Amino acid sequence: MIDLVVGDALAADLERARALGREHLRPLGIEADRRREPVPADHPFFALAWRMGLGQPLGVEAREERGPRTAARRGVLLAEEMAYWDRGMSVAMPGLGLGGPPLLGMGTAAQRERFLAPFRDRDRPHWAAFGMTEPDAGSDVAAIRTTARRDGDDYVLDGAKTFISNAMRADWIVVWATVDRTAGRAGHRAFVVERGTPGLEDLRYEHKMGLIAYESSSFTLRECRVPAANLLGGEEHYAARAGFKGAMRSFNATRPAIAAMAIGIARAAYDAARTPGALDGAGPRVQRRREKLARMARKIEAGRLLCWRAAWLADEQQANEVEASMAKAFAATIAQEATGLAVEVLGDAGVTADGYVEKLYRDVKAMDIVEGTGQIQRIVIARRLVGLPH
């Protein structure tokens, strides 16, 4: 099946990810969960993974080296495999992460050269981050309240962001702000805020129910002065609401990989539910479990194909908004169903604190929230397919 998606060259990358997952991702994810704190940025594993060329599997890091025609498909395959071993650790991995698509899609040539340069250094790992979510603006990204005002050769940013992955260790964060709250989406702008910028303050780790291995951080921007040269794309880019459109393109580029991560978690739960002995015997109870597992296997395969189609469209530079939303909504639901089924099949072993399935059960809820909730994905699909008013 792999060669139908991107070609045999990916097999080596997948095998490396599989070995990395077995030896490092799952053990580190379990350890972080039990310690209730993220894996620190200076952990030797990250340097090892970075030297191996394995970063966050979102399909953007490889775009320059491999070309745009396979990046998204490579991303979904690696995302599924790494999330199978541990989704929290796959997000904790160094790389551009969600900060990559807006930089690559909106940034000028000079901006791409400047901000990508550190990521070509394989001596030590690097991270980037994407700052959209705010305390009062989650799924409704049009409601962001962080402001940006021009002051000479700078912009001054004020506001707050929350649940931003890897912000505390990032070289830079793509921060979304508005130059005019009354203008709605037309006022949106994206700025690259570099680590150590005065006014970038109060970076703190948010404690989560699951996915403990990676940092979800909050921070404030107080009179944070950013050079106008850090406005992604320059002012001319923002005609015709291009700022908001850039944010949506970023989500459409990464949602297939996020959906594939949910498929990876579903696979892990499905495999756990097939523990030897769990389905032995006869009787209606065992038969029902077998039927549920068979149905789960069908749904996992269907979800995977949705992810692949959305990624293929992204690689072909075709519109994939509906397909990306379908993949995200369907895969997150499957993953929650799969973890619930694993708990049911394993009984007491499925709910004990030292059991892996119990961890998956807590980890999986976020998959219906990150990158747009399931409700939002269904609204997107309805608007495009049946003409629901905006």
CATH number of 125-240: 2.40.110.10
pLDDT tens column, 198-237: 999 999 999 999 999 999 999 999 999 999 999 999 988 8
pLDDT tens column, 109-130: 999 999 999 998 888 999 999 9
The total of other beta-carbon atoms located within 10 Å of residue 179's CB is 18
Catalytic entry in 80, 323, 358, 371: 371
The residue extents of the domains of the chain are: 2-104, 125-240, 243-386
pLDDT at 231: 97
CA distance linking residue 59 with residue 333, whole number of Å: 23
pLDDT at 63: 46
Task: Please give the structure tokens belonging to residue 264.
Answer: 């990876």
**Helix, strand or coil, per DSSP, at residue 219:** strand
| SS3 of 231-255 | ECCCHHHHHHHHHHHHHHHHHHHHH
243-386 has CATH 1.10.150.120 classification: no
Give helix 242-273 / helix 356-363 axis angle, nearest 10°.
Answer: 160
Same fold, 125-240 and 243-386: no
Q: Which CATH architecture is the domain 2-104 placed in?
A: Orthogonal Bundle (1.10)
pLDDT at 248: 59
Known catalytic membership, residue 371:
yes
The total of other beta-carbon atoms located within 10 Å of residue 82's CB is 26
As averages over each run of 10 residues, the pLDDT of the chain (390 residues) reads 55 88 96 95 93 70 53 89 96 92 90 93 92 83 89 96 95 95 87 97 93 95 97 84 56 84 96 76 77 91 95 88 92 94 77 78 90 79 74
Q: What value, to the nearest 5°, has the Cα angle with vertex 355 and ends 26 and 92?
A: 30
